[in-house]
């Protein structure tokens, strides 16, 4: 997992409530078993008109927003089915951080395990961040647990264990491998029986 400490970048505001995983990556695109190849289909039903032409009214098709890595959104983000593909699609598109009012438990855990930083902020703070122009950047400072924009600073909470994992770029496999010597010792000891 790639470490996340401080990210300064532009944002994409999609201030809708209850964006579910089927809206993030519709079911017809779940055949791929890799964690890549989903960027084109993220928000498919909103991004494209019938026939596959880009919807000019959807913000991801706005040239000024296409390289942003921070998504600002509503409450209950990632609700619906437990598909991990939704997180893969967000990451594959280039998002590193999602700032919402809340998440479904399964989506939140899928995010943390796949290196997508999911931050919770109150509605008034998210509305402020969503109002920032496309060419202005905000800063997400994970070590200090702050989101900074212009002259405002918003604090957020994160479980210390997840913070440690993100800051150090550790996923569950990397943590397990840090005990490789002890695992080998145990296996050698078990081989004697």
pLDDT, averaged in runs of 10, over the chain (193 residues): 95 98 92 83 96 95 95 97 93 97 96 96 98 97 97 97 94 84 82 67
**Domain residue ranges of the chain, discontinuous segments joined by +:** 6-191
Total count of residues recorded for the chain: 193
**Cα 67 from Cα 127, distance rounded (Å):** 21
Q: Give pTM, 2 decimals.
A: 0.91
DSSP strands (E only) in the chain: 6-9, 11-14, 70-73, 97-100, 117-120, 138-141, 146-149, 152-155
**Cα 11 from Cα 52, distance rounded (Å):** 25
DSSP state of 58: S
Q: Which fold has domain 6-191?
A: Aconitase; domain 4 (3.20.19)
Of 76, 184, 165, residue with least CA distance to 112: 165
Cβ burial of 88 (10 Å; 0-12, 13-18, 19+) is buried
Residue 47 is predicted with a pLDDT of 96
Residue 193 is predicted with a pLDDT of 63
The angle formed by the CA atoms of residues 46, 26 and 135, to the nearest 5 degrees, is: 40
């Amino acid at each position: 997992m790639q470490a996340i400490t401080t990210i300064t970048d532009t944002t994409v505001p999609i201030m809708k409530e209850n964006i579910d995983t089927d809206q993030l990556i519709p079911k017809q695109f779940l055949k791929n078993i890799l964690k890549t190849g989903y960027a084109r289909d993220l928000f498919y039903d909103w991004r494209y008109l019938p026939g596959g032409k880009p919807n000019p009214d959807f913000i991801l098709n706005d040239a000024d927003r296409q390289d942003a890595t921070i998504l600002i959104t509503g409450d209950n983000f990632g609700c619906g089915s437990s598909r991990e593909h939704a997180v893969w699609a967000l990451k594959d598109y280039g998002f590193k951080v999602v700032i919402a009012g809340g998440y479904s438990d399964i989506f939140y855990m899928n995010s943390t395990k796949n290196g997508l930083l999911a931050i919770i902020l109150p509605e008034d703070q998210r509305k402020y961040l969503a109002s920032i122009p496309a060419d202005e950047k905000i800063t997400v400072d994970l070590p200090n647990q702050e989101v900074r924009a212009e002259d405002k600073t918003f604090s957020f909470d994160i479980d210390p264990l997840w913070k440690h994992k993100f800051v150090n770029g550790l996923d569950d496999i990397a943590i397990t491998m840090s005990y490789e010597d002890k695992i080998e010792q145990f296996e050698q000891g078990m081989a004697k029986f």
